Amino acid sequence: MTTTTSDHGDLVTLRRDGGITLDIMSLGATWLGCTVPVGGVQRQVLLGRHSAREPLAQSAYLGATIGRYANRISEASLRGDDCGLALVPNPGSRHQLHGGPEGFDKRIWNIESRSGHEACFTLTSPDGDQGFQGELDVRVTYRLLDGLAIEMVAEARTTRPTPVCLTNHAYFNLDATHRDAREHVLRISADRYLPVDRDLIPFGRLDPVQGTSFDFREGKTVARDWLRDEQQEAGAGYDHAFLLDSECAAMQRPACVLSASDGSLAMEMSTTLPSLQVYGGQYLGGIPSRDGTPCAACAGIALEPQFLPDSPNHPEWPQPTCWLEPGQVYRQVIRWRFLPRG
């Protein structure tokens, strides 16, 4: 494990000999890069910036740890019988996205502990932060496991009732040379997805994937049914949440499996969270890349385990509550396992 310092916080490098190397910046607890051994060569599997010395001159949340609430909250408000709370909307929108304009991706996290294989980041979000009530103490631990795996354990405690949904916004491209990531094969353990309007706000119903372009249960290239139906017109492609099968919550089966276009590398993702947001990267065009050149559209795929978007306003949905109460501990796990093939 090594650490360097810049104006944008510390950079921690976790590594296992002959295994994964993961670079994490304390600004946003952000993954800057991740390499995996494939055929004796370390392959970069993330979109990202080159170093912590560069500002995050991008709006795509590349590799950032997201909070206080990942994804969208409709009308930037929490509505209910005993709660009416105005949140801070994101610029140019009446909704809140990824915790607001000054979400956790914009904060310098404290590095509480670090070792060769593990780093623990902490953050305190004050009462009223981005409109949310309650002081929230957050701890996120990233660790390298045996068998080419990374684990994220997110924990939080609050002083007042508040919704919490923490995730990582990594964009993956598993190809040796990063081309259009829609040529990757994706399999998702979900038979229902959440339709959205043109602001990507859920209508409120969960629809079956059967017979639609959202059926990834057997695995297919992301490109195969791209823009095939009207529902994808809202986000110019896939930018939707899938309700994961119940077996996924105990991490007894992967939430999804992503495979490189040539089959040389696969990634299994498992999680205790109930849903998976799939974003095809269609608005990545022009975002600065690791070598300073602009990214192409669909250069990477974001696979974000989380609660369903706008969940604080939909207690009727078939998932655990996203609300955290004083005295409770929020604890969720995400695990990424890389599987070189051939």
Q: What is the token pair recorded at 302?
A: 């974001």
- 71 contact partners, CB below 8 Å, separation of at least 6: 97, 98, 165, 241, 277, 304, 306, 307, 308, 309, 310
Instruction: Give the annotated binding-site residues for beta-D-galactose.
Output: 71-72, 169-171, 239
Distance between CA atoms of residues 116 and 266, nearest Å: 25
Respond yes or no: is residue 325 known to be catalytic.
no
Q: Is 178 a catalytic residue?
A: no
Main-chain phi, psi angles of 141, to 5 degrees = -115, 125
Neighbours of 113 (CB within 10 A): 11
Catalytic site residue from 98, 178, 240, 304: 304
Cβ atoms of 162 and 101 within 8 Å: the answer is no
Residue 65 · residue 25 · CB < 8 Å = no
| Cα–Cα distance measured from residue 205 to residue 207, given in angstroms and rounded to the nearest whole number | 6
Both tokens of 122, joined, read: 């902490």
Measured from the Cβ of residue 213, the count of other Cβ atoms closer than 10 Å reads: 20
Both tokens assigned to 258: 């992503």
Strand partners, 150: 144, 336
Known binding residues are 71-72, 169-171, 239
Among residues 98, 169, 178, 184, which one is catalytic? Answer: 169
d(CA 206, CA 196) in angstroms, rounded, equals 10
CA 131 to chain centre: 22
As a dihedral over the C-alpha atoms of residue 2, residue 7, residue 8, residue 12, rounded to 10 degrees, the angle is 0
Catalytic residues: 169, 304
